[in-house]
Structure 1
Amino acid sequence: MTLREWGLLALLSLLWGGSFFFVGVAVREIPPLTLVALRVGLAAALLWACALLIGVSPPRSMRAVAALAILGFGNSALPFALIAWGQTHLPSGLASILNAATPLFTVLAAHVLTEEEKLSRLKLLGTLAGMAGVAWLIGPDLLLGGGTMRGWAELAVLAAALCYALSAIYARRMRSLGLKPIDVAAGQATSATLFLAPLALVIDKPWTLPMPSGPAVASVVAIAAFSTALAFIVYFRILAGAGATNVLLVTLLVPVTSVLLGASLLDERLLTRQFLGFALIAIGLAFMDGRLPRALIGGRHNPNPASGDSSRLPIGQKSR
């Protein structure tokens, strides 16, 4: 990865880590369904404005529209709503740590649903370590809490991570439909709005709610403009330049950003076992990614990386 791509990765971790912080602020005054409907609705408007500025027209084929509707439900509407509801009972930092299980579910789902991405030995080891971290995080709340709302909230955030994983596999067909990245981002935000807006109107009756405070309104605007619209653009830029393996590194960085924001601005505190759970998830992701074991094995067998063996160079670094 180039220095610019590392900078974009850091920016994306700030944008997505900030989303948990902004939800944590807004959900104290705005019901979850109304919050996520506003999030995707504003993001869709911004993304289509950007698309029109660069000369991209909306997709017209029914196959593309149907695919975007499915993606909008699975990758935006449902997981956003689950996370927002979960954060009514959880600190934003803990929600982001649970969300870090997304690549674990992606690997398992790809093993079951695809022919070309089966579990390797390293991926299996990493998945087992990551799942142990998830169990360490939520086990005490489920076993000792007896089905408390906190336990259900943790399961809701994990269900959102599973939605993201399944949607990532489904999203592969977008390229075959001739859709550009901004088409996909704007289309899924639009379809998510169509799913969520009627539910928010019927269930929350937002016109009956008291006017939210300035910080809550600012959080809604920030999560739509920065953590959704801009984040999608940055994500697809990294994906195009550095590939899917490198962009997954953001999963390790997002909880760090979210925990720091929650601790410094929302006075949130996490338990020691929750940090240990994240450590297990991080180790699992590192093994799934392959960099850590390759670096350890490469360093043991080839202490001088300049010796000309390009097979042991880090990912993203080419031999000359």
Structure 2
Amino acid sequence: MNQTINRMGRTEWALMLLLSLVWGGAFFLGKVAVDALPPLTVVAVRVSLAAVMLNAVLLVTGRRLPQGRGLWVRFMVLGLLNNALPFSLIFWGETRISSGLASILNASSPAWCILLAHFLTRDEKLTPSKAVGMVLGLLGVVTLIGWDILVGERGNAVAQLAVVGAAVSYGLAGIYSKQFNAVPPLVLSTAQLTCAAVWMIPAALLTYPAGVPLAPDLKVVLALLGLALFCSALAYILYFRILATAGASNALLVTLLVPVSANALSVAFLGERIGVSQVVGMALIGLGLLVIDGRVVERVTRRVRAR
């Protein structure tokens, strides 16, 4: 097994923490946007603005997007699996369920990736530590946000399934992205989001309600800019950097950290207090990540055997 692809170093953990902070506000910003605009319109604006920004960065830095029809067909698939489809499902789901529940369901992404990678790859097989770690992590996410949220929103099964579908799509995208490890993260992010815009602009135009003016207020505009600049353009550069060295299963562990970051941001900027459930939830998530990483478990095992 290629250990360099399946272990997280200090750099990868630092990038993952930064990415979780960036993505921590995505569900909140998305909720603000879809309360004022149709979900597909929000997705189209998000990926289009992000694509324009990243293409401008490529232009300024003198880089170019790669050529080749076959390569761009694969980029189109990646843009669908990693952006267009999951963004649409999540934002549509958020018109019917809370952003908190959406983040819980989205946190199943690494579980789907670990399961699918076991059957679809040779170097990311399911191990007992991964299985136990994922269970601990998911329990931590639900504990962090509150078990009552699962009970209070039972009536929105279709919306919940939509967000789970997004999590599955992210899992497939993580595995599919492995073939692009040789492509620089900035170039890959630009190509992916450009292709996502190609998918979403026609979809948004075809589904936009007739006679409804497109006149969002400043709050919605700022939410869209945040989604595009930070939660898409910057986020996917970080994500593909992690993916290239740590593998798909490890890269998607960030979805377990996103609720933690969201709570931390609420405490820091909104004056919210941390309760016992938040502390227990974060502890379970941290324990789950340590188990999945494996190094602490190996050290403990060696010490026990040495006695």
TM-score, length-normalised on structure 2?
Answer: 0.79
What pairs up with 1:96-245 in 2 under 5 angstroms?
A: 96-127=103-134, 148-149=155-156, 151-175=157-181, 179-205=183-209, 208-209=212-213, 211-239=215-243, 243-244=246-247
**Secondary structure of residue in 2 paired with 1:208:** coil
Q: CA offsets, 1:88-125, max 9 Å, x none? A: 23332332232221111111001111233322232333
Conserved in 1, the CA contact under 8 Å of 2:104 and 2:142? no
CA distance in 2, matches of 1:39, 1:224: 5
CA distance in 2, matches of 1:144, 1:23: 21
Call closer, same or farther: CA 1:225–1:293 in 2, change over 3 Å: same
Amino acid aligned to 1:51: L
The CA deviation at 1:34 is 0.4
CA distance in 2, matches of 1:128, 1:12: 22
Conserved in 2, the CA contact under 8 Å of 1:51 and 1:183? yes
Percent of aligned pairs with the same residue?
A: 41
What pairs up with 1:33-72 in 2 under 5 angstroms?
A: 33-72=40-79
Call closer, same or farther: CA 1:263–1:273 in 2, change over 3 Å: same
What pairs up with 1:249-288 in 2 under 5 angstroms?
A: 250-261=254-265, 284-288=288-292
Q: CA offsets, 1:105-163, max 9 Å, x none? A: 11100111123332223233345556778999999988997x622x3222222211110
CA distance in 1, matches of 2:99, 2:272: 8
Amino acid aligned to 1:197: I
TM-score, length-normalised on structure 1?
Answer: 0.76
Rg larger for: 1
The CA deviation at 1:259 is 3.6
* Paired residue total: 297
More displaced stretch, 181-190 vs 254-263 = 254-263
Amino acid aligned to 2:200: L
CA distance in 2, matches of 1:252, 1:58: 32
In the alignment, which residue of structure 2 is the partner of 1:85?
A: 92
In the alignment, which residue of structure 2 is the partner of 1:17?
A: 24
CA distance in 2, matches of 1:171, 1:257: 25
CA distance in 2, matches of 1:265, 1:85: 27
Query: Can you give the 5+ residue segments of structure 1 that lack an aligned partner in the other structure?
Result: 304-320
Amino acid aligned to 1:194: V
More displaced stretch, 38-47 vs 98-107 = 98-107
Conserved in 1, the CA contact under 8 Å of 2:27 and 2:102? yes
CA distance in 1, matches of 2:146, 2:192: 31
**Secondary structure of residue in 1 paired with 2:25:** helix
The CA deviation at 1:209 is 3.2
Conserved in 2, the CA contact under 8 Å of 1:98 and 1:158? yes
